[in-house]
Every structure is written in structure tokens, then in C-alpha cells.
A and B are shown apart, each in its own frame.
Chain A
Amino acid sequence: MKERTVQLEVLRYNPDTDTEAHFQRYEVVCQEEWVVLDALNKIKADIDPTLNYRWSCHMAVCGSCGMMINGEPKLSCHAFLRDYEGVIRVEPLAHFPVERDLVTAPDDFMEKLKRVKPYVIPKEKKPISEGEYKQTPAQLMKFRQYSMCINCMLCYAACPQYGLTPSFIGPAALTLAHRYNQDSRDGGRMARQEVVATHEGVWECTFVGACSEVCPAQVDPASALQQMKITSSLDWIVEHLIPGGRSAGDAASREDAVDKS
């Protein structure tokens, strides 16, 4: 097997001793077909056991090992060393607070994820004895793509609007709202609109499109957000310009309130 010597420049931050982060350079002997995560594992095992980073599956499924690699948000298990030349710069995901070294604090994303109600709110409740909620393949395809999100937060690290305005609900959470809105079994769209249609919701998005370019699961958040801008605008017209439209919207919200109680 062919070997390759790689230079990694890794951002280090120790909350117990540091007030600022600094880069530390490592020289690692790697196998030709390794990914950046393999190189980090080798550093941790043979060179510097104090290096901190998250990872789990090593196969682009768990979404734990997102990092900035040469400034680009990437899953480090999906970033092949052979695709890079010279020193590879590895930093924690942008736009998130750094907990330690390459470990970031995902608290903000987790809180936002909850706010969009990312679960099916059944249109009509029925007892289990009446059987399952059925769905045709066409109805499934309508939202399938948006259900592929692995919560890796690369889209947040790519989104400049999230970086500039941290109150923005952001690509992945809003896309998950869209995923449930598009589900034929779901009746919770009006409830989700209370978050989606606010300033911090879709309206903070200026369609940079970076989220979709970096997504490792081809979810295409930019598309979901554009679609939600259109439906939110149509909602606004119904609520404000059509007589009786507002009460229809209110009724939907009330039903949801009854659901919750």
C-alpha cells in the first residue's frame, strides 16, 4: 500500500488554559486512501493524545465529524487526503462556539430544531385499531429528499446569514419543517408557520445557496427555503387580503392548540 506524508494544521483551543485559539502543525504518515479523520485518529493515537474532536461512524451517516477543511465545511470522514495538496488546515465548524479544539457547541442548533416541531402532527387522530396512516410512493417522494438530513450542521457552517445573524433558524431546521409540511399525513404546517414565517425564519435567508452545495446528503435546503418563502407569501395574502382568510388561519392554529392540550 502506498504511503503519503501529510501536514495538518489543526486549530487548538483549551478552555482551561487558553483565551484564544492557535494552530498546531502535525506531520503524519498516512495511507494513500485515507481521509482527514484517519489522519486525526493517527495523531490522537501516536502523536498527541490531547487532541479533541467528534466522530462516530466513519461512513458519512452519523454527521458527527463535521469540520472546516481548508475553509470548506466537510465531513472529515468524507474528505480524502489525496484531494488536497500541501498543508491541510483543519478548524472546528464555523459559526458555532468552540468547546475544545475541533469540538463545537451545537446547543443553538438543537434548540432551533425543537422549535420547528420536527415530527408528524397527524391531520386526524385515529385509534391504533383503525390501522396505519397509509401513503403512496408519490406522496413519499414529495418529502423523502428532505428527510435525509443527518444533522451534521455543515449547512450552518456554510450559511453566512447564520454567521451574521445567529438568531436565524437556519437551513437544516427549516428544511426539516418543510419535510413535515410536505408529508401527506401531517397537519401541522400552520403551527410550524409560527416559526417558519417569522423574521428569524425563512425571511433571514437571501438564497446564497451555500447550504445545498456543502450538504453531504443532497438534501438541498436552499430549495426547501425558497419553496417555503413562496408558501409563506401566499399565506400572508390569504390572511391579510382575502376576507375571512385570517379566521381560517386562526382556526387551523386553534385546532393545533386543541391537539396539544
Chain B
Amino acid sequence: MSRKPLVRECPPTTWYFRQPRYLRYMSREITSIFVGAYCVLLVVGLQRLADGPTAWEGFLLALKSPASIVFHFLALVAAVYHAATWFNATQKAMPLQIGESFVPGNLISGAHYAAWAVLSCVVLYLAGVF
């Protein structure tokens, strides 16, 4: 008997609508657009800082535009989502075995969240937010 297998292709542009977990994955990947754009904003900020006090004040003023506020909100959501997915992944990428048993994954991820909180508070304190 000859074989005639039917190939059912994975649709290359719409596959991520097939399962909710694919949409979660794509939203994680899409955070890179916002983070990348924010990095460009940081580079521009550095240029203004190098150009002197007037240019820097102009940069801070430009940040206050409605478009900038909307962008900052979206980018913050994206960056926090990236951070959460990244810290959750640490237990997968770096499992830790002590003796016969493995350190619980949530402990590894939890330690990253704790370090993140401490670092963020230190930066906010040094920047004079509180």
C-alpha cells in the first residue's frame, strides 16, 4: 500500500491565534518594540545631555508632550511584563540542585524579584524620588 500523507501547514503569519499561550508569547516578544524605542529615547537624551543645560531642559520639556506620556505608559507596562517573564524564566534556565533535591523554582524566581525590588528602590532613592 502506498502512502499519501496529508501535510497540514502551520500558517506562517497567523499561527499565534491558534492557542492563547501563543498570544502570551507574542506579547512577551512585542515588549522588545517598546523597550527598543525607549532605548532610542535614552540615546537621544544622552545627546541632549552632552549638548549642555539648555538642550537638556528642552529634552525634559519634550518628555511632557501627551504622545510621550502615552508612550511612557505603554513602555512601562511592556518593561514590567518583560521583567516578570524574564524572572519567571530564570528557574527554567538555571535550575539549582543541592544534594539530591532541586531548590524550588519559585525560590529562584522570587530571589530575582526581591533583588529587583531592592535595586529599583535604591535607584529611586538615589534619584531623589524619596
Q: Which residues of A contact B (CB under 8 A)?
A: 13, 15-16, 18, 20-21, 71-72, 94-95, 97-99, 105, 137-138, 141-142, 158, 160, 163-164, 206-210, 212-213, 220, 222-223, 226-227, 229-230
Asked whether A210 and B21 contact (CB < 8 A) given A13-B6, A95-B10, A141-B102, the answer is yes
Output the nearest chain B residue to A13 by Cβ-Cβ distance.
B6
A95 to B7, CA, bound (A): 8
B22 to chain A, nearest CB (A): 6
Q: Are A230 and B3 in contact (CB under 8 A)?
A: no
B72 to chain A, nearest CB (A): 28
A selection of 18 A-B contacts at a CB cut-off of 8 Å is: A13-B6, A15-B5, A15-B6, A16-B4, A72-B19, A97-B5, A98-B6, A99-B3, A99-B5, A105-B5, A160-B22, A163-B15, A207-B89, A208-B21, A213-B21, A223-B93, A227-B93, A230-B94
B8, B93, B101: which has the most chain A beta carbons within 10 Å?
Answer: B8
Q: Enumerate B89-108 residues with CB–CB distance to A below 8 Å.
A: 89, 91-95, 97, 99-102
Output the nearest chain B residue to A99 by Cβ-Cβ distance.
B5
Q: Could you say which of A95, A98, A223 contacts B5, with CB atoms under 8 Å apart?
A: A98
A72 to B93, CA, bound (A): 25
Residues of the B chain whose Cβ atoms lie less than 8 Å from the Cβ of A138: 97, 99-100
B113 at the interface (CB under 8 A from A): no
